[in-house]
């Protein structure tokens, strides 16, 4: 099994609302495993299904390799819904779909969230700090939203050059990327 290519800004699949998952299938379990492998290889701490081109409401998260979070087990969130928020914090975010871009984003500090886990069991939990941050970032992906959507028009204007390069696929990463949406597949 090889790594799945990651879709980048501004591919339509990343702007579209994803579909809820209604059935636990072998195909779904294969996708989960492939996404976990892809996320680890890319050294990400979260990956949404639409970031690998599948418009499904599912994300994988693993922050266990970050400092102080070694005890937090990897998570699979199917059809996640944020059911409550509390407080506010500022944190510098990055995204595998927006390589080379890191910006401060204001979000609630802690959240309540419910989802189905990889065994299709309903889970309701509270999360704070980095875990709450990653969960909100990933749930946003599932609704077609990037973290840069929170930036002011001025801050966004500073990123214009980088974003245009991304749109054209002019970016180098240590992980495979899907071709940019504007590019047609080469005919043989
Ligand atoms: Zn992201």
Q: Encode pLDDT of 29-76 as tens digits.
A: 999 999 999 999 999 999 999 999 999 999 999 999 999 999 999 999
pLDDT greater at residue 188 or residue 11: 11
- 185 is a domain residue: no
The answer to whether residues 48 and 57 touch, using CB atoms and an 8 Å cutoff, is no
Nearest to 19 by CA among 57, 58, 60, 59: 57
d(CA 4, CA 61): 16
Which value, in Å, is the radius of gyration of the alpha carbons in the chain? Answer: 16
Pairing of strands 110-116, 103-107: unpaired
- 173 is a domain residue: no
Ligand 1 (single-atom ion) residues, CB below 5 Å: 95
Kindly tell me if the per-residue pLDDT of 84 is higher than 50: yes
Kindly tell me if the per-residue pLDDT of 186 is higher than 60: no
Mean pLDDT over the full length of the chain: 95
Q: Which residues of 65-104 are buried (b: 16+ CB within 10 A; e: fewer)?
A: eeeeeeebeebbbbbbebeeeeeeeebebebbbbbebebe
- 101 is a domain residue: yes
* Residue 153 backbone dihedrals phi, psi, to 5 degrees: -55, -35
- 85 is a domain residue: yes
Kindly tell me if the per-residue pLDDT of 185 is higher than 60: no
Centroid of ligand 1 to alpha carbon of 61 (angstroms): 11
- 30 is a domain residue: yes
- 177 is a domain residue: no
Centroid of ligand 1 to alpha carbon of 146 (angstroms): 7
- 3 is a domain residue: no
Q: Encode pLDDT of 6-26 as tens digits.
A: 999 999 999 999 999 999 999
Q: Encode pLDDT of 93-119 as tens digits.
A: 999 999 999 999 999 999 999 999 999
Annotation says 93 is catalytic: no
CATH code of the domain covering residue 135: 3.90.45.10
Kindly tell me if the per-residue pLDDT of 182 is higher than 80: no
Beta-ladder partners of 107: 89
The pLDDT > 70 percentage for the chain reads: 96
Q: Encode pLDDT of 153-177 as tens digits.
A: 999 999 999 999 999 999 999 999 9
Nearest to 14 by CA among 146, 177, 176: 146
109, 138, 170, 172: which one is catalytic?
138
Domain span holding position 132: 12-168
Kindly tell me if the per-residue pLDDT of 184 is higher than 60: no
Centroid of ligand 1 to alpha carbon of 78 (angstroms): 16
Kindly tell me if the per-residue pLDDT of 188 is higher than 50: no
Whether a cis peptide bond, with omega within 30° of 0, leads into 10 is yes
Burial of 7 (0-12, 13-18, 19+ CB in 10 A): buried
- 151 is a domain residue: yes
Q: How many domains does the chain have?
A: 1
């Amino acid at each position: 099994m090889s790594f799945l290519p990651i879709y980048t800004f501004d591919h339509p699949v990343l702007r579209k609302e994803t579909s809820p998952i209604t059935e636990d299938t072998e195909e779904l379990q294969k996708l989960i495993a492939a996404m976990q492998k892809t996320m680890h290889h890319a050294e990400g701490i979260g990956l949404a299904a639409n970031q690998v081109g599948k418009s499904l409401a599912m994300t994988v998260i693993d922050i266990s390799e970050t400092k102080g979070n070694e005890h937090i087990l990897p998570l699979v969130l199917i059809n996640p819904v944020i059911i409550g928020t509390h407080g506010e914090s500022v944190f510098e975010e990055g995204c595998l779909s927006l390589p080379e871009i890191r910006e401060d984003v204001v979000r609630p500090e802690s959240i309540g969230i419910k989802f189905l886990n990889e065994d299709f069991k309903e889970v309701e939990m509270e999360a704070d700090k980095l875990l709450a941050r990653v969960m909100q970032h990933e749930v946003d992906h599932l609704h077609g939203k990037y973290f840069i959507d929170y930036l002011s028009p001025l801050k966004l204007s500073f990123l214009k050059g980088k974003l245009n390069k991304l749109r054209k696929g002019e970016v180098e990463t240590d992980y495979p990327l899907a071709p940019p949406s504007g590019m047609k597949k080469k005919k043989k």
